[in-house]
Amino acid sequence: MQRTATIESPIGRIAITANGRGIIEIRFGARRKVSTPRARDRTATHLRRACGQLREYFAGKRRRFTLPLDLSGGTSFQRRVWRACARIPYGEVRSYAELAAMADCPRGARAVGQGMGANPLPIVVPCHRVIRADGSLGGFGSGLPLKRRLLEWEGAG
């Protein structure tokens, strides 16, 4: 069973969706508010933890997420790239080529970029920390102004 909760953040309302295995999606700009479930099942527990950790991130108290993630919606290559991306430290950036090397695909910078474009868990899988080799921002599914804002938030901008 999937459930969704929303939180308010400095970048707007964020929707978090989870199932019994973990967090499956984070979306910016959620239109309607959904409260965190009070149920005591695994899905509700994952949502409460994710909401709490995202609030801590925006309060400047969290630099690393410790959440169960369900990445089963991606291909095996995408999952490998997302796991590598999740290892990029807070406040640091890596180029698409560096991320490709971290994901054991040293010539796959372009494919890594496409994989990042399909990332369902921004912030937790910090695709905003991946930039072009020349130092320019590259792409971001939610727009470059938000990518710039997140990098500035972390002191990397």
Q: Which residues are catalytic?
A: 127
| DSSP state, residue 69 | B
Question: Beta partners for 15?
Answer: 6, 27
Query: Can you count the helices (H) and strands (E) in the chain?
Result: 5, 5
Q: Which of 92, 94, 90 is nearest to 81 (CA)?
A: 94
Helices 76-85 & 109-117 angle (0-180, nearest 10): 90
